[in-house]
Amino acid sequence: MPITFETPDQADVHELIAELDVYLYSLYPAESVYALDISSLLHPSVLFAVVRDEAGAALGCGAIVMKPDYGEVKRMYVRPAARGRGIARQLITTLEAKAIEQGCHTFMLETGPPQREALIVYERLGYQPCGPFGDYPDDPFSIFMQKSAC
């Protein structure tokens, strides 16, 4: 599957983000959803990638927000019909490689207990549990993870 770095300000990407939002709000109370909107994803510090099928249809997306000391994985989503094919793994690996090129060697993320499939993917990619980071509160609906690329 082609994975390219693109702008998130595209109609089909808006649809992906909207699907992800519906999914997240079905799992968590609103105050425990720490999602970035499209305008935040347009910031120059954000690496944003889209996975497309052979016909060009968007199947998934993800981002890494480059911080001074780490990159934060955000907005990871693969459409349900495309899951189970290693797309999320390829997407994260592509994002991490680009971030490493830009000097990032530590990756952090926040997810939640109901997202078992995501947790399995992150664990298989070397992410380990850690405490809250950045501006995140210690939220019972959050699981924090980190990975060192060194």
pLDDT of residue 75: 97
pLDDT of residue 43: 97
Q: Can you read off the two tokens belonging to residue 119?
A: 């947790």
Q: What are phi and psi of 51, to 5 degrees?
A: -100, 130
Which 3 state secondary structure label does DSSP give 55?
coil
Based on the structure, what is the number of domains in the chain? 1
Pick from 100, 109, 106, 99: nearest CA to 73: 109
Pick from 141, 62, 69, 142: nearest CA to 107: 69
Mean pLDDT per 10-residue section of the chain, whose length is 150 residues:
93 96 96 96 97 95 97 97 94 97 97 95 97 96 92
pLDDT of residue 144: 98
Beta bridge pairs of residue 62: 49
Q: What is the CATH classification number for the domain harbouring 116?
A: 3.40.630.30
The whole domain housing 61 covers: 3-148
Cβ neighbours for 134, distance < 8 A, ≥ 6 positions apart: 67, 72, 108
